[in-house]
Amino acid sequence: MGEQLAWGTTYVAVRPDHFRVEYQINPFMDPTVQPDPARAREQWDTLVATIEELGGTVHVLDQRPDAPDMVYAMNLGLGVERHDGTRHVVLSHMRYAERRMETLTAQPWFAGLGATTSYVGRDGVGAHFEAGDAFAFGDALVVGYGPRTEELGLKHLATDLGVRVRGLRITHPGMYHLDLAFCPIDSTRAIVCPDAFDEASAAALMAMVPEPLVLTEAEALSTFAANSIVVGDTVLMPACPDHVRAQLEDWGYAVRILDLSEFHKGGGSIRCLTNPLDVRLGRDLPVVPGGEVVIP
């Protein structure tokens, strides 16, 4: 029986003032298929209003005009709260140069919240890390690596934060971030798509989640159902296959479907658009002095 997540009510999001599909760095992006700016703004406003209606808080960061993908705020960095209330953010070092300027804006913004910041690499030098690949779950920070985050980055995360990192190798080009294949629901439950990973990592993931809710490859890719967030006892999802809804409701969760179709054109949905700021070290993520990396 899972215990509700203590994190997931405070987020940072980037208002889509300059959202476009300008280049192609994932299989969903096609620059000849542009989002409609007014619809995108409406969908984003509804997402923010829904989080607030459920008791959550959304901090809004302005989008850089030169950073069309910055709306996917999940990838700006990985933030944690220390027990004394101070924060630390490990900034992303984007795999593709097209997104690296986003961090230049994110760093001072996080610092303005009082956060200390660190980086695993920058300007193309050092390990890549994109925060959509990292979630606190169970006894560790679960980190997907392969398409975006590099294996070398796991060590930096473990030592910078003083936590255990459990690495999972992503092999599916369409599930290029962990958040397209993994969504923590509560302390023992998560939505998972094992097809995103190599065999050993898929097995490690299934061993890590006591009560997995399994998506097929087709469900994960065509509905973005894993790219969801949990606010209180409500799961906000872009779509929800019937068996997923039945299981979530059976576990006591309410499902709210939100249309984020304009953002699917850039390859992301609800989780990608929101970055949780309230994951707490020692509560949501056990402290492991010196850090530790576990790879299947």
The closest residue (CB) to ligand ARG is 132
Amino acid at 280: R
Cα 284 to Cα 275: distance, rounded to the nearest angstrom: 16
229-231: strand order across its sheet? 229-231, 234-237, 254-257
Provide the minimum distance between the beta carbon of 3 and ligand ARG in the complex, in angstroms, as a whole number: 25
Q: Is 70 in the site for ligand ARG (CB under 6 A)?
A: no
Residues ≥6 apart with Cβ < 8 Å to 85:
none
Neighbours of 102 (CB within 10 A): 27
Q: Is 183 in the site for ligand ARG (CB under 6 A)?
A: no
Q: Is 74 in the site for ligand ARG (CB under 6 A)?
A: yes
Provide the minimum distance between the beta carbon of 71 and ligand ARG in the complex, in angstroms, as a whole number: 9
Q: Which residue from 58, 69, 91, 293 is in contact with ligand ARG, where contact means CB under 6 A?
A: 69
Cα 270 to Cα 143: distance, rounded to the nearest angstrom: 19
Cα 111 to Cα 91: distance, rounded to the nearest angstrom: 11
By C-beta, is 58 or 162 nearer to ligand ARG?
A: 58
Stretch that binds ligand ARG, among 25-33, 136-144, 195-203, 281-289 (CB under 6 A): 25-33
Smallest CA-to-CA distance from 177 within 203, 142, 223, 210 is with 142
Stretch that binds ligand ARG, among 69-77, 162-170, 211-219, 285-293 (CB under 6 A): 69-77
Q: Is 230 in the site for ligand ARG (CB under 6 A)?
A: no
Q: Is 168 in the site for ligand ARG (CB under 6 A)?
A: no
Q: Is 266 in the site for ligand ARG (CB under 6 A)?
A: yes
211-214: strand order across its sheet? 182-184, 189-192, 211-214
Q: Is 35 in the site for ligand ARG (CB under 6 A)?
A: no
Provide the minimum distance between the beta carbon of 266 and ligand ARG in the complex, in angstroms, as a whole number: 4
CB 183 within 8 A of CB 158: no
Count how many Cα atoms sit within 13 Å of the Cα of residue 31 in the half-sphere of its side chain.
5
- What residues make contact with ligand ARG under the rule CB under 6 A? 25-26, 29, 69, 72, 74-75, 99, 132, 177, 179-180, 266-268, 272
